[in-house]
Structures are given as C-alpha cells and as structure tokens.
Structure 1
C-alpha cells in the first residue's frame, strides 16, 4: 500500500509478549482544540491482521497541532483470555509539519509498552 493511500499518519501495533501483530484492536485518533483544551475525535479504526490501522486521517485534515492515538489494550487482551496492567494506552504527540509522513508503532505486552516515531 502506498504511503498516500494509508494517510499521513500510520500505526502498527505489535504484541511483543507473543511475538505477533495485535489484530482487532480498537484505535482512535484525537486532536486537541487548544482554545478550549478539549480533545476532538477525528478517526476510529481497528487494527487489521497485520496490526496496522490505515486511514485514520486524510492529508487534508492533518494540520499542525497536538494529537493523541488511543489504543484499547484492555479489550484486546481480554479477547485473548488474558489480563493486563494497562487498560488503554494514549500516545500524545505534536505535529508541526503535516507535509511529513508520521509512523507511530506501539510495542506492547500485558505489563509494558513502548512507542517511537518510526519511518
């Protein structure tokens, strides 16, 4: 899939505890309205079998500002018959140049997570 087809912002969730992509996890994208300090939901999706969630935002809607990706980790682990420590993960980040492409992977286990800006 071409970068533009998947949007300017992509994510990839990996279940590092089991060594597999985290499929069927709910993901939402929000932007902070800095005038009233309220988060507005921009996109809703579910990770595919490869742990990816394309199409959360279009290039046109992707403007400078503060964003957050929310990953519903609790229901994901529950669907596998397991418990976890973090019921959800929110990754907050700032976009100053929306012409760039941004990739934000989430690496997680039942008791830990990490993220980074990928390419």
Structure 2
C-alpha cells in the first residue's frame, strides 16, 4: 500500500466493526496551534471511506486522532460508557510509509497499536 494514514475501529463488546464513530485528525505543530485536517465517520466495516491523509498529504510531524466513542455507545443504547473521547497522539516520522492506527474499543477501555 502506498503512503497514507488510515484507521479502523473494532468494538470488542459487539465482536465486530464499530459503525458510526466520528473520527477527527489534528496536526499538532511545534507552535501549539492545532489544525484540523480531516473528519469522518466509520462505515459498516468500522473504517473510513477515504484515508485521513493520502500520499500527497503525508508529512512528518505530531498528530492526534480523536474518536468520539461516547456518542457511539449512547446511540446503541448503552447505559454506561466510561469513555467520552479517545485521543491517540502519534508521530509520523517517515511520510513515505503507510501508517495505520486501529482502535479496539469497549465501553470501559481501549487498545491501539501501529497496524499495517
């Protein structure tokens, strides 16, 4: 796969993809001024329809993905959701590589890693 930034969300409590999670990508430059670069909602496969950054947009730097998981669980009738938003801050150090940041989600916790 060519250079890009992608994500997907899996809901471990439902044993499958998390459809309808709003995801926002921000760049955190050294001057402290955040810039929103992309926003989307996961589809029925728990993925965004398009990469958050494509090959031409990839740049070295610090980024943050914010997953709006509280709204996702409330829409599904969950009585308890401990998490409202899940921020994942990460660094792109080689913009020629593909970066995939999955989120494994449950109402009370989450896990992430650099995927392939």
TM bin, normalised by shorter chain, reads over 0.9
Q: Which residue of 2 aligns with 1:117?
A: 114
Q: Which residue of 1 aligns with 2:25?
A: 29
Within the alignment, does 1:39 sit opposite 2:67 as a pair?
no
Supply the distance in 2 between the matched residues of 1:37 and 1:52 (Cα, whole angstroms).
29
Q: Which residue of 2 aligns with 1:49?
A: 44
Supply the distance in 1 between the matched residues of 2:83 and 2:98 (Cα, whole angstroms).
28
Q: Which residue of 1 aligns with 2:55?
A: 59
Matches within 5 A, 1:1-119: 3-4=1-2, 8-34=4-30, 36-53=31-48, 54-82=50-78, 83-119=80-116
RMSD over aligned Cα, in angstroms?
Answer: 1.2
Supply the distance in 2 between the matched residues of 1:112 and 1:14 (Cα, whole angstroms).
12
Q: Secondary structure at the match of 1:75?
A: helix
* Residue 64 (structure 1) shift: 0.3
Task: Name stretches of at least 5 consecutive residues in structure 2 with no aligned partner.
Answer: none
TM-score by length of 2: 0.93
* Residue-by-residue CA offset, 1:74-106 (whole Å, 9 max, x unaligned): 000011011310101000001110100011110
TM-score by length of 1: 0.91
